[in-house]
Chain A
Amino acid sequence: MSSESSPPVLRRSQLYHWHQQQGAAFAMTGSTLRVLRYPDEQAPALSLTDLSTHPRVGFKGVGTRQWLRQLAIDMPQTPNCAARQPDGSLLARLSEHEHLLLDNLAADAPLPAELLRRWELEQPSQCYALPRADSHSWMILAGADAAAMMSSLCAVDLRPQQFADGSIAQTSVARTNTIVIRDDNHGLRYHLLCDASTALYLWNILLESVTAFGGQATGLEHLL
C-alpha cells in the first residue's frame, strides 16, 4: 500500500502529502522530514511554514511550576505569555499550571528533549507530560502583514501594538481551536498550533488568505 516514493520516515506531518505535491525539498532529521523549500518559493513578505515535525512538549499539573523552577527554567510570570529560553526554545504558559515548550526554528535546542528525559526520570509529583508534538500541528506565519491577514480569520486583536511579543491567544481561527503565540525573534511572527487532525483544513484556509495578501508557503530556510 505504501508509495514507493515515500521516504523511510516514521513521523510525517499531517501536511506531508501536500508538501510532496508541491515538490518540496525535504531534510531528514532522525526519523523526521522537514520542508526546506518549495520550487516556486520567492522570499515572500508574508509566509506560512509547517513546523509540525519540530520537537515540542507540554507539561501540566499543579506541580509543574515547582518542577520547572527546580530546573532553573525561565518561566513566564502570567498565563498566556511566553518566555524565550537561552537555547532559543520558547516556553509558553498556557494556563496557571500548563506549559508548552517549542523548539527553536533550527530544531536544535536541547531543552525540549532534556526536559522530557528529566521528567521520565524524575516523575515529578503532580506534573504530567503532554504529547504536544502529536496532539498539535505547528505552523508559523511570518511577515508584516500577518496581523492584517489574521484579522479576517480571528476575532482577537493580533496587531503588534496590541498583541505584544510573547503574547498568547488561545482562540478560534477559522472556527478551529488554535493557540496563537507572537514571537518576534526574527521579525513579526506568529506561531499557530492547532489540533493535528484539523491541520490540513487550517493550512488550506491560511494559505488562501496568505496568497490573497501576496504571500506563499515557504520552507524552513526562509525563516532561518
Chain B
Amino acid sequence: MDNQGNRLYLNFGNNNDRLATTDRTYPTTPSTFPQPVFQGQPAGQGAAQQGQPQGYQQGYASAGYFPPNQYPAAGYSSQLGAQAASDYSSAGQGGYGQARSAAAPGTNNDPNTGLAHQFSHQNLGGGGGAAARASPYGAARATPPGQRPRTAGAQGQQAGYGSYLNAPPMPTQAPQEYFAPAPERNPDKYGPNANNNQKKCSQLASDFFKDSVKRARERNQRQSEMEQKLAETTDPRRRESIWATGGRREGSYLRFLRTKDKPENYNTIKIIGKGAFGEVKLVQKKADGKVYAMKSLIKTEMFKKDQLAHVRAERDILAESDSPWVVKLYTTFQDVNFLYMLMEFLPGGDLMTMLIKYEIFSEDITRFYIAEIVLAIEAVHKLGFIHRDIKPDNILLDRGGHVKLTDFGLSTGFHKLHDNNYYQQLLQGKSTKPRDNRNSIAIDQINLTVSNRSQINDWRRSRRLMAYSTVGTPDYIAPEIFTGHGYTFDCDWWSLGTIMFECLVGWPPFCAEDSHDTYRKIVNWRQSLYFPDDIQLGVEAENLIRSLICNSENRLGRGGAHEIKSHSFFRGVEFDSLRRIRAPFEPRLTSNIDTTYFPTDEIDQTDNATLLRAAQARNGAAGPGGGPVQQEESPEMSLPFIGYTFKRFDNNFR
C-alpha cells in the first residue's frame, strides 16, 4: 500500500525547485520556510495553519508546503491538519523505528512501548490496526535485502521513509563510475545502542527543524505586527519604544530558549492538586514573581502505567494551541525524575467544584456554561484533536469566570485504536476494581481540583475518590469509545450532553455505585437515560440533551459545532462575543496567588518532588543543575521523553 502511495508522488520532492526566484524574499515569505520532507498530509493543510492569516494558508498550499500523505485519506478529516502537521516528525521520522513495537501496545513496561503507542495514536488515516500502521516502515525494513537494487539512489532503498529520495528519475548507473558505490544499508550492523541513538538523533533533528520553523514563522508574524505599529505612529519616542520592546522580547525569548529551566527556579506556594502520577502546585517564579500552575509528573509512574503517550498527547496539544479556550502551556522541562509542565494558573477552580457547591444550575447559567463549552470543544476539534475526556473536572474557570479546557492526556487525533481492551474487560464484568488494571485508560493523571471534601452524597464521594485514582470517572464518556466500534469527534458532544444533564439535574445521567455499573448504563443508554420526574426541564433543554446523548449517527454536532449552536436552546446566545460578556460567577480573589477556589486544605501539602530532590542531593546523586557539565546523558536525551521540552514565546510578555 505504501509503495503505491509513494509512486503517486514521485515528482514531488525535487530538490531544485526550491530555488524559485520568489523565494528570495526571506524571511517574511512563508513559502520559503524550510519544509519537512517526511510524510505530511494533503487534505488538511489549510487547516493545519489554523489561526494563521489566510494568506499564509495560501502560501503553504501553493508552495506544496507538505508533501502528500502516504496514507490513504479514507475517512480523513480536513480538521486534522494541525495534528498531522505537527506530527510529521513522529510519523515520518522517529516513528519508523518504533512502529515494530506498536503491534503490541501496552503489553509491557518497555518505555518504548509507550512511545510507539503514542505514535500509533497520532498516526492518521487508514489501516486501523497497529500492524497496518507499522507497515510503512516495518515493511520497508523487512524487505529482504536481496530485493533491493544496489544502485545508488535507487528506489526502494528508503521506501516508506520518504517518497523524497525516490523522487527525481535519475540514471542510476552513471554515478557508479564517479562516486563510491553505496553499500547495502545495514542498520543492524551496530549494537542496540546505535539503533537507540539513531532514533534519538533522527527525532531530535526533525524536532529541531520543526520547532525552528514554527518559531521563525511566529517571529515573522510578530515582526509584521510590530512594523504595523511602527507605521501607525510618527512620534519618535513611541517608535523607539516599540522597537526596543520588540527587540527585548525577542531577545529574552532567545535567552530563555538557550537556558535550561529547572524546578529550583520556582517557589512553591501551595499544592493545589495531587494524583497518582504527580501533583499540581501553584508556584511563583523566583526571577520575576510570575505565578503559574506547575504540574509535575513522576517519570517512573508514567512508565509503569503506560502513560507516556498520554503525556505526550497533552504536551502536543497544549503546545500547538493558542486558543483562549485551552489552558495555556508556557514551558515544559524535565529532570531525572519528573516531567514538568508550567501552565497558566486559573484561579477560578473548576466546574466540578461549582457543581458540588451549587448542586444544580438554573437554565440560564447552564446555557452560559454549555455554550462556552461548545466553543471550547470546537476549538480543540479545530486543532485536530478529540478530547475524549470532557468532564466537569476538566473545565476550569479563569479569573473572569470563563471556561478553559485542560487535561488533554487522553486527547487524540483521528484514530481508532485505543484502550478498548480495558473497556471490554469492564463490560464483561470481570473486574470491579479497574484501578488495578495496568492497561487502564487512566483518565486523570491529575486534576487541578482533586479533593476529598465532605461529600454531598455517595456518588459524589466515589467520584472525588475516583479523581485520585489512575482511572477517573467514566460518567461522561461516550459509549462508542468503549464498545470498540470506533469513535470520532462527536464523542465529545456526548460528554457535553452528560454535563448539561448534570448541570440541570444535579447528577450525571449514568451515575452508579461503581464504575462498572456506570459503563453498563452508558452502553445501555437507551434504557438507562432517565429524566427524573421531580425536576422540570425546559422542552428545549431536554431536547438538546437527548440530541447529544444518543447514538453517534444521530448525534447533534456530528456535522460540526454549528449544529449545536443553532439549537433552539441557545436562541439569543451570541457565540462570537460570549467570552467577552460577564460570567455568571466571577471568582473573588484577594491576590494573584489566592487559592480560595481550590480545596487545598484537604490536599496533603507534602511537596514530594522537592523532598525527593533533596534526598537525592544528600545521597550524592548529581543534583539537577549541580552536576558536571558532561553527564553521561541528560534527561532530555532519554528516548521516551525526547521532544518533550517546549518553550512558548508568550512566557516573556504576559
* Co-complex (A, B): no
Show the binding face of B for A, using Cβ within 8 Å.
none
Show the binding face of A for B, using Cβ within 8 Å.
none
